[in-house]
Structure formats: C-alpha cells, structure tokens
Amino acid sequence: MKIYLAGAISGSGFDEVYDKFVHDAQVAMKLGYTVLWPMLAKEHFKDIGRFTSLGDTHPVSTNHAIFERDCWMVSQADVVLVDLFDAVRPSLGCSMELAIASHLHKHTIGIMEPGNCHEHAFILEALDIRFNERPSAWKYLRQLAEWVNG
C-alpha cells in the first residue's frame, strides 16, 4: 500500500522539514507502506535559509515541476497523510494536495489540533479522518496496514 506524506514546508528550514519527512517515512515503511513524499530528490535545497512558497530554477523544483510531481505522487497513493499539527500559518500546498487527494477519492488522514489555522469547511470535509495528535494517527495507520496487508 502506498502513502503520500504531506506537511507544511513554507517558512521552515531544510533540516527541520527534511528530518520530519525522513522520520515519518521511516515510521511508515516499518508499518509496511511504500512512501511518497514531496522532499524526495530535493537535497539541493540544503543550503537555503527557509523555504518559500515558490519553486526555483533547479529542474526538479520549478513551480511546474513541484506541482506536477506532487500531483502525480498523490494520484499514485492509496492513503494521503496530511500533517498540519502546530502549523503557524495556512499551507496552500497541503491544502491543494488534500483537495486533489479528496477529488481522486484517496483515503485522507489529517493531523491537526483544535484551533489549528487550517480549520476550514473545505479542509475538514476533504479529510476522511481527523486526528488531534500524531500518535493516534500512526496507530490508525498501523491498524490499516495490518488489515489491508493481512
């Protein structure tokens, strides 16, 4: 089963974002998932200060390349995990990934605490399941993988 990991990136530094995605990818792989995530093959960002909401001139990180590749990865996934926990500002990228996943009838799992800046009718309705904290979401994903994989 394939899972796409989505999370807020803009405004954060490379190490913070990369380490979080690597950690989550490792957890998902231990649960039996094949993992897709937006930071794959983007190590060239290592020397930036903070991510912005725009791409750059590197072939794999132009605006178009980011959009098309992330849309493609969402379309390949069975499950899309959108981790918006502790987000300090709305993530348009995650919102788009969630909208695309919902439109494609992917199983969408969200993590965000009450009062999160993403509490909006469209976000809430696009999520199949919302968890208020990470451990419950990962427990569910473990149970889902066990059920599907037998």
Q: Which two tokens stand for residue 90?
A: 């709305």
For the stretch 71-129, pLDDT in tens is 999 999 999 999 999 988 899 999 999 999 999 999 999 999 999 999 999 999 999 99
Q: How many CA atoms lie within 13 A of 30 on its CB side?
A: 8
Residues in the chain: 150
Smallest Cα–Cα separation from 24: which of 90, 111, 101, 97?
111
Give Cβ neighbours of residue 57 (< 8 Å, ≥ 6 apart). none
CATH of 2-149, one of 3.40.50.450, 3.90.580.10, 3.40.50.2300, 3.10.290.20: 3.40.50.450
**Are 84 and 127 in contact, with CB atoms under 8 Å apart?**
no
What is the band of 13 on the pLDDT scale with cuts at 50, 70, 90?
A: confident
Residues pairing with 142 in the sheet: none
Whole-prediction pTM value? 0.91
pLDDT of residue 144: 97
Smallest Cα–Cα separation from 90: which of 133, 120, 69, 135?
120
Give the integer Cα–Cα distance in Å for 120 and 143: 28
**Are 84 and 111 in contact, with CB atoms under 8 Å apart?**
yes
Q: Which two tokens stand for residue 16?
A: 């913070």
